[in-house]
Amino acid sequence: MLSFELKGKFGSAMGSLASVMRFLRSCFMEHVKVSSLLRFKSNEASEKKKVVKATDSDRKDDHDGVLSSDGKVTEKVEKGRQNKRERSRACKCINSCCWLIGCMCTTSWLLLVFLAYIIHASMPAVQLPEFPGARMKREGVVANHPVVLVPGIITGGLELWEGKPCAAPLFRKRLWGGWGSGCTNIFRSPLCWTEHLSLDYETGLDPPGIRVRPVPGLIAADYFAPGYFVWAVLIENLAQIGYEDRNMYMAAYDWRLSFQNTEVRDRSLSRLKAQIEIMYATNGDKKVVVLPHSMGAVYFLHFLKWVEAPAPMGGGGGPGWCAKHIKAVVNIGPTYLGVPKAFSTLLSAEGKDISIIRAMASGLLESELFGLQTVEHVMRVSRTWDSIISLLPKGGEAVWGNLDWSPEEGYECGLEKKRHFQADSRENNSKSSEENSSLQVNHPKKYGRVISFGQEASQVHSSKLPTFSKDFMHTSISTNLNASHGKFRTEFDEMSHESFDKIVEKKVYTTTDLVDLLRYVAPKMMRRAEAHYSHGIAENLEDPKYNHHKYWSNPLETKLPDAPDMEIYCLYGVGLPTERSYVYKMSPSSDKRKGIPFRIDNSVDGSDDCLKAGIYFVDGDETVPVLSSGFMCAKGWKGKTRFNPSGSATYIREYRHKPPASLFEGRGLESSGHVDIMGNLAMIEDVLRVAAGATGPEMGGDQIHSDLLKMCDRVNVPL
């Protein structure tokens, strides 16, 4: 099993790299085709003009004119042939490079697999911990409560049911997730692929003539790619104590849509309600344990409000439905208060990984020579996905900080590295203490400045920042909303260079400022998405306006159902650097009003681990900061509050990251990464015990390793 995991890991990595190269090559080829067609038409028109001129000249001087015309035509034909040969050589060069890289990837993968077998054969004594499912089965733990799995953003598979002619062979094949034959074929035509993954920019629903739907069943999100598990390990462990299709269900949904639109288009919420009722009735009236992951946590929070709300906006289950049917909601890596990287995704289609690739090999993503505009295509597609707006930070400056304050003040960067150093070097305790003191944070970080233009602007006191009004963000950027070229738009191409300058002159942006900025640079996207989401803090939850579905996925603007016996768990990883704020700069191409005008300044580094490649880091699971995952369970819903009027019990279980000790551990048996935690043995055991009937106190209550409680004390949200 572990050898398979090792092979799968490297095979997935190599396969993904090969797919990326095919994608980039296809982008180039399509660009060459379009450019060649335009040049051919231009040359043809020019040729016709010259023939007409030659004919007129023939009337004046028949013999000389014909020779002259023939000479010009011959010269043009020869020049066209030469251009064709040059394009052919360029295509062969790109093709050869792709084949060379593919051969290198395949050879490396085969060597690594062979090495894994050799090491495994020569080290038979290597034993890894037993998985929780097998051990708990021997202990007599058996399946008890039915289980519902709710995947998050990106990880669920999508398949084609209707499409354009370019996707005709892909009926009911996956366009996303699983990465089987459907995805391999679609990479040959990347623009066709992006067109089918995009939603309508006006409605946020299906574009005309295209129907892409979620893959049903447990296979919807068991693996994201061959060898790269998401839910597979947890499903296997659940099966070992007796779970099967009868009492385990994957609530697949189209993660691109807004939460309410999953009901409008697919009736996903109604089907989830019906499935929970069926599982409750067919399993001896036992309440259901729900396991949402990542964005699935806020999706299911929306469901908790929807299911009891009256029709037609709600599911009509009435008060008491949740108390009757749900035993516990066990959130894994929840994004309750959003993630700052959602801002960088919508503003420049990048985060840590994309920024690093840009710094190392920018030609892979965008090249004037080859016509690659990969990042721009990513932005055009992702801005049609309303679900990304659900991940914007919630609570504004009261939660995420302002120009001079943030809840993470005093966070010690590199603390986990120091802990590992101490654990591995106990004989040098005195030396470790000296190093600890030298690694203390010397300058408080201004995490509340989520985006700053320039390193200095991210560090100086607010009194030293230039005074600049943000009123310009409340004005329209263009009266021509159809100015964008192509079928997709970024809305940046509707802006002037002066507008970009004003954005940069503002220097620093808090979470509140950034929502206004998105309304300025992408007004159509925000008008569409904000009809489904809100990101504030409710003043009075009794106000009838909060009965609207746009507030149901924000835990600071909605109440938990009246279910005092329902338990809520927040399970997540800590100890990994997680993106919190960014240093930006103007993009070199912005003066041409093409592409994306801003980007992370990856040349900026700090004196400690908090600032690397233009990104400030805090504690978290590498994707979601601790504050977002843990605040509601630690404070917002703790005891009876206005957000939890019935006093449903909440518990926090943090898992400190420990990297793999060897290749045989694959992605790690104690990893706390946002997706890797799905294979964390301690987390799996906690999930299995809750499903088997254990309560929070029986599991030991809260388990906190981070500074979450200190952060919560600094957040001033009325409870």
Which are the contacts of 413, defined by CB distance < 8 A and separation ≥ 6? 441, 577, 608, 609, 610, 617
- Indicate the helix (H) or strand (E) that contains 307: helix 296-308
Whole-number Cα distances in Å, 145 to 563, 634, 693: 17, 26, 7
Give the residue numbers annotated as catalytic, written as ranges: 294, 621, 674
Helix axes 2-60, 374-382, angle to 10 degrees: 110
**Own/partner pairs for 231-236, CB < 8 Å, 24+ apart?**
231/149, 231/151, 231/155, 231/293, 231/678, 233/131, 233/678, 233/679, 233/684, 234/149, 234/291, 234/678, 234/679, 234/684, 234/687, 235/149, 236/131, 236/133
Q: How far is CA 433 from the centre of its chain?
A: 39
Closest Cα to residue 453, out of 598, 583, 600, 596? Answer: 583
Rounded Cα distance between 355 and 367, Å, is 15
Backbone φ and ψ for 663, nearest 5 degrees, come out as -60, -25
DSSP annotation of 634 reads: I
Rounded Cα distance between 409 and 290, Å, is 34
Helix axes 374-382, 190-197, angle to 10 degrees: 20
Rounded Cα distance between 150 and 529, Å, is 22
Whole-number Cα distances in Å, 92 to 24, 28, 95, 350, 696: 14, 12, 5, 31, 63
For 552, half-sphere exposure in the C-beta direction (CA atoms, 13 angstrom radius) is: 23
Whole-number Cα distances in Å, 189 to 165, 184, 364, 374: 12, 10, 17, 13
Backbone φ and ψ for 182, nearest 5 degrees, come out as -60, -45
